[in-house]
């Protein structure tokens, strides 16, 4: 039966139409035997041509030759055939064909030229060749952030800083009007930023540079500088407070849209299919080998990592089957253990948050004590919150990866859960810092203080204070990254290469941990997003910071790191970076929203002096519009519009969800049908051969 079953397909399957078409396609592609004989080649070409009219009917709109999987010699013949065919077409169609061809060519060349303008193209290519596409995706991500920050900087600069500077210096015949004093309590408006006057020690400048006080506080770096109400360029009136607020919203929206656009690809795939695409075996086996690798050592490592990955996956599958067979008693034990460990995790987190809170409060209380002239101690106090945050960011992940071993999850889930916890720690730390700052700022004991709405004695210009904290965080982050590279990586490499004693060799070179590095820069980017409202020139600092970090990381990678034993895949890592960045952005909305809409803006500095909160400038502007437009805007914001709008959006969403579900079901049915068809085919063939034999 084995041979008959094998023989039958050979006879009958070869006569089936589907097999014939596959054979034709293979011949057209020049199968290994077919290539040698020229007649076969022309048969292939004829098949290719025959497909052309089949597909397009009358209009011979064949695909460009480059899309056919043929060898060059055969493509030339195909192109000659196509050229010959063109002569039979009418003049109009001929012109259309040739013009579309030349247009495609021009577009292709323009694209190629543009790619030469791409920043760091050569560097990223060389990294790709040596370390594979996983690490390359980290550096592409870094490049993306440099561009994003640069665009945000241009936005804020051109709409906020530039008009201020132009009108203050009277360039282009412009002038400005200061904010009219309204009937606010006079004590709220007292703000004397202590710019450096007279002779000061050199280290004061250094201290100011590092902590944003002193001479930096009165520059356009911080919110307090923008005191202009409106700038006049001949007769045009430029409303600066409105521009400030709108530029903030604009850069947030721009970041959101750009990130969503970039993450579109990875998202589309996972919406249609149920299985986790990145973990499927086919993806690992068929797309597993990275053809970019040129270095034999890297290839060796890739082999080992692939073997390790496949073995772990298979083991995980076996583990899953074992888990499904767990008894009730074991399940109870494991769940109670997990709950206990989660409680420990929450305790660790609360410990971090509390220490950050105390450090911030301490730092704020002591840095306002001007009699403290000891340079180092003052700097230390200023940087205390940043140091505590960095320490927490370093210790917490170690604790988490230690604890998760006891929770008995599958390895892939372990990694994901640890990662999620680390992300949460990093982003929540910033939130706690801001929260503790606000509690300090809004702490009001006296009646006079309540009239202003914030603690006017300590923080006459609280937005500049917050801006300074963000500035300090960013500078400190940058210093730490440089310091770790200089003082940890290079000595380690020197030690490993020159000292051959056992413990040092066992430590070995460090791997390039992608997730840690990515979390680092996402932390920095979240700070930038939050801080830009309080310090409009912060994106420029961020751009320069990431620019330098690119080169630092690249040098560190090339010289001190070994390729990771378990590399992350390129596609899943791209998606992961962008998702975490999105989480950071959305978390940045919260503090900004609260500062803009809830906390009263400082009356002593800044463009929003005459308003209660920063948001109040928008209703104010709307009141200045013509009544018709006002009514329209009021209508849009009212409930009568919002509720039906919301319901319509819900309906549309349900429609698309239902459509997706229906498509999924159809796909499943078609797959089952295919399986059935194939079985039917084999069955019928067997029956025919049996019938033939009798």
**Binding stretches for another protein (CB under 8 A):** 22, 25-26, 29-32, 35-36, 66-69, 71-73, 108, 125, 128-129, 133, 265-266, 269, 273, 275, 277-278, 280-283, 285-296, 298-300, 303-304, 306-307, 310-311, 314, 317, 569-572, 671, 674-675, 677-679, 682
- Which CB, 275 or 330, lies closer to another protein? 275
Closest CA to 543 of 528, 558, 553: 528
Smallest distance from the beta carbon of 569 to another protein, in angstroms?
6
Reduced to 3 states (helix: H, G, I; strand: E, B; else coil), residue 44 is: helix
Distance CA 602, CA 590 (A): 20
The residues near 234 (Cβ < 8 Å, ≥ 6 apart) are 173, 174
φ and ψ at 229, to 5 degrees?
-90, -45
Smallest distance from the beta carbon of 105 to another protein, in angstroms?
12
B/e letters for 305-331, b = 16+ CB within 10 Å, e = fewer, are: bbeeeeeebeeeeeeeeeeeeeeeeee
Smallest distance from the beta carbon of 121 to another protein, in angstroms?
11
Smallest distance from the beta carbon of 44 to another protein, in angstroms?
13
Smallest distance from the beta carbon of 282 to another protein, in angstroms?
5
Return the structure tokens found at 291. Answer: 């053809």
Smallest distance from the beta carbon of 313 to another protein, in angstroms?
8
Smallest distance from the beta carbon of 272 to another protein, in angstroms?
8
- Which CB, 303 or 566, lies closer to another protein? 303
- Which CB, 109 or 690, lies closer to another protein? 109
- Which CB, 17 or 296, lies closer to another protein? 296
Q: For residue 277, give Cα distances in angstroms to 150, 266, 319.
A: 34, 10, 20
φ and ψ at 123, to 5 degrees?
-60, -45
Smallest distance from the beta carbon of 116 to another protein, in angstroms?
14
Contact in structure between 381 and 367 (CB atoms under 8 Å): yes
CA angle 326, 330, 335 (to 5 degrees): 110
DSSP state of 235: T
- Which CB, 44 or 531, lies closer to another protein? 44
- Which CB, 239 or 574, lies closer to another protein? 574
Reduced to 3 states (helix: H, G, I; strand: E, B; else coil), residue 231 is: strand
Smallest distance from the beta carbon of 554 to another protein, in angstroms?
18
- Which CB, 265 or 511, lies closer to another protein? 265
Residue with tokens 């961020």: 542
What is the residue-wise DSSP string for 466-532?
Answer: HHHHHHHHHHHHHHHHHHHIIIIIHHHHHHHHH---HHHHHH-PEE--HHHHHHHHHHHHHHHHHHH
Distance CA 590, CA 572 (A): 28
- Which CB, 284 or 554, lies closer to another protein? 284
Reduced to 3 states (helix: H, G, I; strand: E, B; else coil), residue 561 is: strand
- Which CB, 49 or 316, lies closer to another protein? 316
Largest CA distance in the chain: 116
Smallest distance from the beta carbon of 560 to another protein, in angstroms?
23
- Which CB, 275 or 516, lies closer to another protein? 275
Contact in structure between 44 and 34 (CB atoms under 8 Å): yes
């Amino acid at each position: 039966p084995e041979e008959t079953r094998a023989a039958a397909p050979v006879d009958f399957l070869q006569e089936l139409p589907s097999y014939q078409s596959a054979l034709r396609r293979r011949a057209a592609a020049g199968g290994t035997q077919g290539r040698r004989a020229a007649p076969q080649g022309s048969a292939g070409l004829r098949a290719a041509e025959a497909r052309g009219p089949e597909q397009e009917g009358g209009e011979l709109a064949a695909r460009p030759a480059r899309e056919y999987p043929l060898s060059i010699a055969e493509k030339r013949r195909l192109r000659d055939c196509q050229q010959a065919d063109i002569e039979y077409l009418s003049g109009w169609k001929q012109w259309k064909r040739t013009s579309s061809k030349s247009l495609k060519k021009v577009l292709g060349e323009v694209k190629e030229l543009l790619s030469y303008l791409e920043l760091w193209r050569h560097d990223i290519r060389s990294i790709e060749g040596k370390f594979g596409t996983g690490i390359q995706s980290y550096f592409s991500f870094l490049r993306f952030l440099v561009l994003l920050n640069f665009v945000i900087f241009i936005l804020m600069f051109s709409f906020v800083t530039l008009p201020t500077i132009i009108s203050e210096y009277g360039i282009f015949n412009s002038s400005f009007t200061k904010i009219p004093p309204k009937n606010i309590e006079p004590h709220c408006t007292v703000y004397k930023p202590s710019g450096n006057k007279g002779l000061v020690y050199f280290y004061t400048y250094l201290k100011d540079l590092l902590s944003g006080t002193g001479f930096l506080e009165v520059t356009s770096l911080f919110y307090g500088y923008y005191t202009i109400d409106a700038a006049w360029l001949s007769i045009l009136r430029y409303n600066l407070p409105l521009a400030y607020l709108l530029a903030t919203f604009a850069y947030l929206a721009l970041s959101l849209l750009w990130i969503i656009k970039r993450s579109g690809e990875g998202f589309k795939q996972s919406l249609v299919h149920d299985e986790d695409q990145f973990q499927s075996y086919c993806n690992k086996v068929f797309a597993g080998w990275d053809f970019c690798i040129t270095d034999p050592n890297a290839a060796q490592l890739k082999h080992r990592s692939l073997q390790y990955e496949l073995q772990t996956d298979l083991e995980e599958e076996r583990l899953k089957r074992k888990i499904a067979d767990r008894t009730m008693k074991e399940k109870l034990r494991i769940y109670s253990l997990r709950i206990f460990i989660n409680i420990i995790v929450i305790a660790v987190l609360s410990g971090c948050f509390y220490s950050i809170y105390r450090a911030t409060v301490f730092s704020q209380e002591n840095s306002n004590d001007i009699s403290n002239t000891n340079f180092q101690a003052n700097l230390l106090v200023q940087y205390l919150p940043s140091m505590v945050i960095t320490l927490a960011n370093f210790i917490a992940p170690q604790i988490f990866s230690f604890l998760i071993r006891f929770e008995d999850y599958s390895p892939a889930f372990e990694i994901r859960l640890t990662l999620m916890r680390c992300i949460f720690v990093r982003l929540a730390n910033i939130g706690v810092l801001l929260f503790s700052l606000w509690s300090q700022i809004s702490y009001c004991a006296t009646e006079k203080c309540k009239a202003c709405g914030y603690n006017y004695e300590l923080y006459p210009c609280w937005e500049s204070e917050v801006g300074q904290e963000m500035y300090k965080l960013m500078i400190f982050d940058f210093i730490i990254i440089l310091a770790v590279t200089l003082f940890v990586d290079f000595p380690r490499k020197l030690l490993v290469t020159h000292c051959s004693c056992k413990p040092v060799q066992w430590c070995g070179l460090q791997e390039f941990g992608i997730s840690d590095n990515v979390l680092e820069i996402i932390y920095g980017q979240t700070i930038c997003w939050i801080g830009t409202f309080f310090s409009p020139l912060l994106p420029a600092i961020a751009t320069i910071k990431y620019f330098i970090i690119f080169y630092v990381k690249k040098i560190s990678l090339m010289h001190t790191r070994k390729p990771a034993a378990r590399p992350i895949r390129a596609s899943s890592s791209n998606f992961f970076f962008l998702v975490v960045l999105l989480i950071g952005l959305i978390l940045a909305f919260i503090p900004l929203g609260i500062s803009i809409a809830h906390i009263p803006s400082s009356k002593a500095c800044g463009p929003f002096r005459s308003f209660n909160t920063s948001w109040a400038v928008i209703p104010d502007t709307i009141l200045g519009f013509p009544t018709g437009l006002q009514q329209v805007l009021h209508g849009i914001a009212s409930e009568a519009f919002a509720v039906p709008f919301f319901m319509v959006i819900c309906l549309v969403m349900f429609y698309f969800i239902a459509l997706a579900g229906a498509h999924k079901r159809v796909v499943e049915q078609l797959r089952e049908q295919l399986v059935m068809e194939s079985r039917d085919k084999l069955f019928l063939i067997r029956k025919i051969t049996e019938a033939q034999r009798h």
